[in-house]
Amino acid sequence: MRRAATFCVAFLLICGCASAPARPLPAPPVVQVSPAFDAKRARPDHGLVVTAQGGTLSEVLVYESGEGVPGRLDGSRTTWRSDWTLKPGAEYTVTATAASPGGPATVAMGRFHTRPAPRTFQVASTAPLPGETVGTGMPIIIDFDTPVEDKAAVERALEVKSTVPAEGAWRWIGDTRVVYRTRRFWAPRQQVTVTAHLAGVRSAEGVYGGTDSTFAFTVGRKQVSSVDTRTHQMIVQRDGQVVQQMAISAGMATTREYTTTSGVHLTMDKGDPVRMISPGREKGDPGFYDVMIGHAVRISNSGEYVHAKDNVWAQGRENVSHGCINSRPDQAAWFYDSSLRGDPVTITGTSRELEWDNGWGFWQLPWEKWRLGSALADTDPAGGWMPQR
C-alpha cells in the first residue's frame, strides 16, 4: 500500500498537480472480540460478541470442535452476537472481517477457552416424548434434574419451532418444571421441534447447562370431545366432523370428590385395564372400592377417566359414577383406541370447576394469565440469549 500511495503522488506531480496534497488512506476498522482472544476461563453464559469500530463486519466465522456457532449481525452490521450461550470447558476459534468504505479491511483471528462448569444441569424428561404423535391441545412439559434459580436465563434458552407458526408462552410450575402452551390449539398435522440451548446457561450459582437437548413430535389429526353431564351425552368430532356420539354417566355429585370437574381437560394417558381405588378409604369403610376398569383414558390428576362400564341402564339417563365419565364398553374401547395424548375433552354442566393445575388443565387459564407465569413476563423478549449481569 505504501508503494501504491507513492505512485499516486508521483503521477500527480507529472500532471502539474503538485499543489494538491495526497489524501491519506482511512484508518482500518478496529475489531473487538469478547471474550478476548487467548482467554483461558471465559464465562460461557455471556456468549460471544464481536464488534467493529470505524467500519462494518462483512463476515464472522466461529467454530467449536469443527461445528459452526450460529449468530447474527445487528442492523448496522457493527455487532455480531452468538445466538446462544457457549459450551463450558470448550475451545472456540474466531475469524472476523471488517471493512470501511474506500479503506483497508481488518481480519481478526484468534481463539479462547471457556471455563469448565463446577456443576451441570440438564433436561430430565419431556412430554411429548421424542417422535410421539399428539393431539392439538398438547402442552410441552420439560423437567430439569436440578432446581432452577435463574428461570429467566433458562427460559431464554428454550426454542419452539413449528411448521405452522403459533403464538405460545412458557409458564414455570415449581423450580424444576416449565410448561409451554400455545395461545390457541395447535394446527393439526404438523411437526414441532423443541430445543433447549442449555450449554453454558447459568441456572444457579456455579451450575451451568452441560449440553443442548432437542426433540421433535408430530401434531396429529384434530379430535375434540364435548361432554354434557346434564344431557348425559358425549360427542366426538374429528377434523370438524362428528365421528361418535356416546351415552355417558358422570359423577353422582353427592360429594365434591364424586363431582366431575367442568372445563377443558386433555387426555393424559390410558390403560386397559386400570386399577381404581377409592382415595382416603380403607377396605371395610363406607364407599370403599378397588376395581379393575377397562379402556380407561385419564383426563385429570384427581382420578377422572373416560372409561368402560357395563351400566347401560344409567348411561344417557343418570349420573351415578364416582366422578369419571363412563360409557358403553364398545364405545369406550373405540374412544380408547382413537385417543392421542393431548386431545381436548371439554366437560360442562357440573358445579365443580377443573383447576388449571389439576393434571393438564392448562387451558383453564386465560391467555394473559397464563403468560404471567413466564419468567420473562415483564421483559421485552428479543429472542436468543441475553448476557447475565
Classify each residue of 318-352 as buried b or exposed e, where b means 16 or more C-beta atoms within 10 Å of its C-beta. Answer: ebbbbbbbbbbeebbebbbebbbbbbbbbbeebeb
* CA count, 13 A, side-chain hemisphere, 371: 13
Beta-carbon contacts of 188 under 8 Å, excluding residues fewer than 6 positions away, are: 136, 219, 220, 221, 222, 239
Rounded-to-integer distance, Cα 23 and Cα 29, Å: 18
Q: Is the dihedral of CA 134, 137, 143, 148 positive or negative?
A: positive
The SS3 of residue 266 is: strand
Distance CA 146, CA 155 (A): 15
Catalytic positions are 307, 324
Strand partners, 133: 218
Q: What SS3 string covers 120-135?
A: EECEEEEECCCCCEEC
Alpha-carbon distance of 139 to 195, in angstroms, equals 15
Which residue's entry shows cell 451450575? 207
CA distance 69 to 90: 12
Q: Cβ distance 94 to 50 under 8 Å?
A: yes
What sign for the dihedral angle of Cα 143, 144, 146, 148?
negative
What are the φ/ψ torsions at residue 7 (nearest 5 degrees)? -65, -40
Q: Are 38 and 112 in contact (CB under 8 A)?
A: yes
Q: How many other β-carbons are positioned within 10 Å of the β-carbon of residue 20?
A: 11
> What is the distance between the alpha carbons of residues 227 and 306, in angstroms, rounded to a whole number?
10
Q: Dihedral (C-alpha) 252, 256, 262, 264: value to the nearest 10 degrees? A: -120
